[in-house]
Amino acid sequence: MQYQNTIARPVETEGIGLHTAVRGHLRLVPAPAGTGIVFRRVDLDNFEIEAHGRWLARVSYATSLMKKGVLLSTVEHVLAALYASGIDNVYIELDALEVPILDGSSRPFVQMIAEAGIRRLRRRRRCLRLVRPVEISDGERQIAAYPADNFRVRYFIDFPHPLVGREEIELDVDAESFSRVLAPARTFGFLEDVSRLRSMDLIRGGSLDNAIVLTRDGLMNGELRFPDEFARHKALDLIGDLALVGRPLKAYIVAHKAGHAMHTALVTRLLSDRSLWVETADPSAPERQPLGAPLSAVSTS
């Protein structure tokens, strides 16, 4: 059996928010078994917001949580790192309403976890094992989850840009694969959208240091970290959003031109329909199961 984990010691970082441009300090602090992942707004008397789908708020260009009127924005990159690294219990202390964007990826958060170390706790880990498929679609945008004994994601994107186009990534997600394959992939956007987004009070903190910026036919900032960095970042976002289920998930997730809104729609669906899953002990070495239906089989449900 696997046991719950926390980090071994506190670690911290600071940076500006992608959308607010406000500088924030973020600190990861060990938490006891059964705590879960909990944000603490230290600028608001340590007000706590659990990283759970019940507190989902805005989910357009980032995933936000809100509890009793207190907002917390752009949580997906730190949650992806914690979730994939197997951290079940941690306090995320923050003195601003937005998680720092850092370099636009999850790599700095993975490095923080490595610096802190991982401590095993004396409580068995429980996971949610999907027992029935769930499928959601909105036109060409689709997302589905199928029963499996591991956590696997498949993500397909299609953007009309010469450096992007059609990209697909598929992998079993664990601490090693996430750190190597997905964590370094940065958020991205298009230069032609900058003025419109800033008029909406978005990406005010965006820069070439924390996002890939695509011109009409090229790239503004250096080289890509991976030829398919765009699909990898979308898969990273998906994992961060799925962390809001609140338990390790055993399922095969298939996303086709999805995004935060569809990711979190799946989270809401899973949490609202307990017939879709069972809660069970998390085995230390699960066997691989046959994977679910192909992308073409995803339909409205």
Paired strand residues for 219: 214
In whole angstroms, give the CA distance from residue 183 to residue 176: 10
In whole angstroms, give the CA distance from residue 100 to residue 284: 33
DSSP string across 142-182: EEEEEE-SSEEEEEEEEESSTTTEEEEEEEE-SHHHIIIII
Paired strand residues for 128: 249, 279
What is the number of other CB atoms lying within 10 angstroms of the CB of residue 220?
A: 11
In whole angstroms, give the CA distance from residue 260 to residue 102: 20
**Sign (positive/negative) of CA torsion 230, 270, 90, 2?**
negative
As annotated, the active-site residues are 260
Q: Tell me 268's DSSP state.
A: H
What is the number of other CB atoms lying within 10 angstroms of the CB of residue 12?
A: 12
